[in-house]
Chain A
Amino acid sequence: DAGITQSPRYKITETGRQVTLMCHQTWSHSYMFWYRQDLGHGLRLIYYSAAADITDKGEVPDGYVVSRSKTENFPLTLESATRSQTSVYFCASARTGRGDTQYFGPGTRLTVL
């Protein structure tokens, strides 16, 4: 049972480049989430999705784009990366709702130079 996986685990990119972080879950959970974790800010919700083709903004969505064409995948794209987007990104999934138990992936450490 693979659970929830993220790729890549580490990424270094340059300012202005487009970057896509991948998230895949094998549980067929309806809900999926993207968070970023920064010192002093804890975990902040970027975007979430209630089902395929249904996405909504979280607390810090600016500069990010998401899509969900299949239930199991929820990619996060930084269309033009900025240094302030250097962070650790976590994907999570939940079976039935935003308040349901969330299961987290291992994270992607992104550095924008």
Chain B
Amino acid sequence: AQSVTQLDSHVSVSEGTPVLLRCNYSSSYSPSLFWYVQHPNKGLQLLLKYTSAATLVKGINGFEAEFKKSETSFHLTKPSAHMSDAAEYFCVVSGGQFYFGTGTSLTVIP
């Protein structure tokens, strides 16, 4: 069975500081993993995707995520937060269908 847990429902960072959004997954086989971002009143936009190639995945807008099989984690990071990064972020594990995390709301403080 597949599932995903986003460990923080809310994260606040100051502009210019690093961002860390945590995601743990459960999968009975090698999964595909995704991060999506949802800005207010918008649809979900794909940030990045892991499909068993390189374990460090680079996405759009300076985000990246590292797949760690031993820790069953797929945390999303960004070195320096920008005001435009304020949004809801969803971690997704794919095992024949999408399993969504409950989301992490990122606030960026000016």
Contact = CB atoms under 8 A, between A and B. Distances in A.
B43 A107 contact: yes
Contacts of A100: 94
Contacts of A42: 90, 100-103
Give the dominant DSSP class at B's interface. Answer: strand
The contact size tier of chain B is 20 to 34
Contacts of A109: 41
B49 A99 contact: no
21 contacts: A42-B101, A42-B103, A43-B44, A43-B90, A45-B97, A45-B98, A92-B44, A98-B98, A99-B32, A99-B95, A99-B96, A100-B94, A101-B34, A101-B46, A103-B46, A104-B36, A104-B43, A104-B44, A104-B45, A107-B41, A107-B43
A42 B49 CA distance: 20
